[in-house]
Amino acid sequence: MVVVGAGVAGLACAWALQDAGVPVRVLERAATPGGRLGGDLLDGRPADLGAAYFTVSDPGFAAVVARWRDEGLARPWTGPAFKVYGPRPPAAEKGSSAAGTGAPAAGTGEPERWAAAGGLASLAADLAAGVNVTCGAAVKELTVLDGTVVLAMPAPQAAALLPAAAPLAEAQDWQPSLAVALRYRRRCWKPLTGAFVNDHPVLTTVCDDGSRRGDGAPVLVAHTTPAFAMESAAGDVEAAVRELLDLPEAAVAVATRRWPAARPTRPSGSEFAQVEGVYLAGDGFGRPRVEAAWLSGRAVAAAIVGNQNPKTPRTASRAR
Ligand SMILES: Cc1cc2nc3c(=O)[nH]c(=O)nc-3n(C[C@H](O)[C@H](O)[C@H](O)COP(=O)(O)OP(=O)(O)OC[C@H]3O[C@@H](n4cnc5c(N)ncnc54)[C@H](O)[C@@H]3O)c2cc1C
């Protein structure tokens, strides 16, 4: 059994298969696991450049997150409600922003947002530690893989290995994003957790990385619109953030990450797909969220082992 991709979906799938007694190995092309939970070091400090946070509503995922919290890996990121710049979307569309759904934070009308002191990639590293993952192992063709194969990745990346998945990639309509981490000399903005930026030519979200990581570092992370992601330069993003938050000074250090397939605008309704005998998993199925990726990976594993209840961990030993 081979899972290609060590993002949340692939790691969740591998854990569920392993729990069911199915030998599995995970092949990941990047040097580290995590996929779009990825970050980068900015002056030696990890900054989240992929998912800004995650929300939790599924009981099985909640058990994993509770373990992370108990072990000091994940932290609820509460504080001032996210600001909204620009027109607010109608209530029915709220879930289409990065806000997500999930259990509400105490005393707010917003879902509890979760972050990680060591960056979200540290959670993927935790998951990867208990399964057979090989990083730096880019799969170039499926014919070299034995047995059942799971492609746990955005559909455009799956289609590069499995051309029959191309219509699925097109139907899900994946959009790019550019993430820019900006370090300042000091915290020179009004109290902020994060902000949704609507109808802006450059920005979609700006998050206070020091707030979400809990160390108070003077770092902001901005995500751009799909259109801007393809043509942009970090300097333009820095200028847009400075103007939006009315900052008195410029950033002194910058890290960027371009995501060619950041999220699907039309995710499939099913939890996974099977194309020419190959399973496809990831956040292209459900909603473009960390939790959806986790659920998709579990659902594929359940389909493979014939388990009809993928949301319940099969063993009570350790939630993962
Ligand atoms: C900028 C941005 C902001 C986001 N904000 C949020 C948010 O606030 N809240 C939220 O819940 N979600 C957010 N998301 C979405 C979240 O990051 C994803 O839902 C989740 O991480 C997807 O996990 P995945 O396992 O499905 O895919 P991925 O994380 O993309 O994992 C796929 C893996 O497959 C690997 N791979 C691909 N091709 C090959 C190959 N040929 N060989 C070997 N390996 C391969 C990749 O390297 C990657 O590691 C955001 C995403 C982005 C990009």
- What are the extents of the domains in the chain? 1-38+120-172+265-320, 77-115+174-264
H or E element, residue 236 = helix 234-245
| Statement: residue 92 has pLDDT above 60 | no
CA of residue 161 to ligand 1 center, whole Å: 17
Confidence (pLDDT) at 287: 85
- pLDDT digit string, tens, across residues 165-207: 999 999 999 999 999 999 999 999 999 999 999 999 999 999 9
In 3D, which of 217, 166, 227, 195 has the Cα closest to residue 79? 195
Residue 30, Cβ density class (10 Å: 0-12 exposed, 13-18 middle, ≥19 buried): middle
Instruction: Specify the ligand 1 atom closest to the Cα of 296.
Output: 26
Q: In terms of Cα–Cα distance, which of 35, 51, 34, 50 is closest to 124? A: 34
Backbone angles phi, psi at 235, to 5 degrees: -60, -35
Which segments of the chain are extended strands (E)? 2-4, 25-27, 39-42, 45-48, 74-76, 83-85, 114-116, 133-134, 149-152, 174-183, 194-197, 203-208, 219-224, 253-264, 273-275, 278-281
pLDDT at 108: 61
Q: Compute, in angstroms, the gap from residue 154 CA to the centroid of ligand 1.
A: 7
Place 39 in a pLDDT band, splitting at 50, 70 and 90.
Answer: confident
Using the mean position of ligand 1's atoms as its centre, give its distance from the Cα of residue 249 in Å. 33
Residue 149 beta carbon below 6 angstroms from any ligand 1 atom: no
Q: Ligand 1 center to residue 124 CA distance, Å? A: 11
Strand partners, 176: none
Residue 315 has pLDDT above 80, yes or no: no
Q: How far, in whole angstroms, is CA 209 from its chain's centroid?
A: 15
C-alpha to C-alpha distances, 20 to 26, 114, 281, 307, nearest whole angstrom: 16, 28, 18, 9
- Which residue has 């399964």 as its token pair? 131
Residue nearest to atom 34 of ligand 1 (CA): 5
Whether the Cβ atoms of residue 126 and residue 73 lie closer than 8 Å to each other: yes
Q: Is the CB of 50 under 6 A from ligand 1?
A: yes
Rg of the chain on CA atoms, in Å: 19
Token pair for 19:
């729990």
Q: Please tell me the distance from the alpha carbon of residue 297 to that of residue 127, in angstroms, as a whole number.
A: 13
Burial of 70 (0-12, 13-18, 19+ CB in 10 A): exposed
- Would you place residue 319 in the very low, low, confident or very high pLDDT band (cuts 50, 70, 90)? low
Give pLDDT tens digits for 248-296: 999 999 999 999 999 999 999 999 999 999 999 999 998 899 999 999 9
Residue-level pLDDT at 10: 98
- CB 93 within 8 Å of CB 103: no
**CATH tag, 1-38+120-172+265-320:** 3.50.50.60
User: Which residue type does 51 have?
Assistant: A
pTM for the complete prediction? Answer: 0.92
CATH (residue range 77-115+174-264)? 3.90.660.10
At 91 the pLDDT is: 55
- Quote the mean pLDDT of the chain: 90
94 pLDDT band, cuts 50/70/90, is very low
Whose tokens are 């947002």? That residue is 113
Say how far residue 216 (Cα) sits from the centre of its chain: 22
Atom of ligand 1 nearest to the CA of 33: 49
